[in-house]
Amino acid sequence: MRAVGIDIGGTKIAGAVVDADGAIERQVRVATPGAVSGIQNVVADMITELAEGEEAVAGVAAAGFIDRDRSTVYFAPNIAWRDEPLRDHLQSLTGVPVVVENDANAAGWAEYRFGAGEGLGDVVMLTLGTGVGGAIVIDGQLLRGGHGIAAELGHIRLVPEGRTCGCGQRGCLEVYGSGRALQHEAEEIARDAAFGIGAALRAVQQRNDGVVPGQEISRLVTAGDAGALEALRRVAVAVGTACGSLAAVLDPERFVIGGGVSQLGEVLLAPMREAFAAAMPAYGSRPVADFAVARLTNDAGVIGAADLARRTLAS
């Protein structure tokens, strides 16, 4: 049976046929339409195209809160979906059995099955992008929770009464450990002339109307700039500190770090491990998780969605 994976992003929708070993056999991408109905129609057309008239199942990954039955989108931050019966709509348009999954869960499942978590039983993935996504695999099963919306790791409270988060709370990991947080830290260092290490960041900021773009931070980190490295260290410490608390509850074998920031590799993971050690109860007297960078990068969503569809529906 053919397994199709779809990953709905804010700017593009990716679709693929994925085999049982997690390899992509065929892939397509289109720009994300502005209208909600347009998104559903594009996804339905993509499923139909990739199924090619054969018996198939489809997994659809989307950012948002998905119900326990993997059918309804309670809330999506970037699309005007509220209690949206997405599975039923897509099934009626395509005739193909569909399962809907949170995008971070899909990516985390792909890494667990075929990527940086392969061969392990208990893995936590944090995706450091615009926000912080999360996925938890315990004893080989995705943790979904009583209502289907577990593992929103970006919204654990890290700093009481800290910065305001888009979720409405204050001090969430997302506002300290994401790509957007890295930009915030870099811009703060650039503004603080007294700090003494922000000259290169300040020059970038002046060329870009007061903004320090993420790609410029990455370039400066790679070049060894002290200001950019300090900005990255702050983000790494936030994530590593949160992982210490997560490990106390979940005891994973590995933390897999994905998203655009993860491509900085060991320069990100080294301070993250140090912060984790400082936050982890009884560190040095017990086994602890290791850290690894995600391997499947931009393909993780479609691979995970397809594999979950195969496991859930192809029986």
Fold of domain 120-294: Nucleotidyltransferase; domain 5 (3.30.420)
Burial class (CB in 10 A: 0-12, 13-18, 19+), 92: exposed
Using an 8 Å Cβ cutoff, are 7 and 103 in contact? yes
pLDDT of residue 78: 74
Which tokens is 4 given? 């199709």
Among the listed residues 136, 109, 138, the one whose alpha carbon sits nearest the alpha carbon of residue 122:
138
The secondary structure of the chain as a DSSP string is: -EEEEEEE-SSEEEEEEE-TTS-EEEEEEEEPPSSHHHHHHHHHHHHHHHHTTSSEEEEEEESSEE-TTS--EEE-SSS--EEE-HHHHHHHHH-S-EEEEEHHHHHHHHHHHHSTTTT-S-EEEEEESSSEEEEEEETTEE---SSS----GGGSB-STT-SBPTTS-BSBTHHHHSHHHHHHHHHHHHH-GGGSS-HHHHHHHHHTTT---HHHHHHHHHTT-HHHHHHHHHHHHHHHHHHHHHHHHH--SEEEEESGGGGGTHHHHHHHHHHHHHHSTTTTSS---EEEE-SSGGGHHHHHHHHHHHHHH--
How far apart CA 105 and CA 78 sit, in angstroms, is: 17
CB count in 10 Å sphere of residue 78: 14
Q: What is the CA radius of gyration of the chain?
A: 20
HSE on the CB side for 202, CA within 13 Å?
Answer: 12
In the prediction, which pLDDT does 315 show?
64
Domain-by-domain residue ranges, the chain?
2-108+299-313, 120-294
Show the low-confidence residues of the chain (pLDDT under 50).
none
* CATH classification code of 2-108+299-313: 3.30.420.40
Sign of CA dihedral 279, 282, 288, 290: positive
Fold matches, 2-108+299-313 and 120-294? yes
Specify the pLDDT at position 77: 79
Q: Is the pTM of this model over 0.85?
A: yes
Counting every residue written for the chain, the total comes to 315
pLDDT of residue 37: 83
Record the tokens describing residue 88, joined without a space.
């039923």
pLDDT at 290: 97
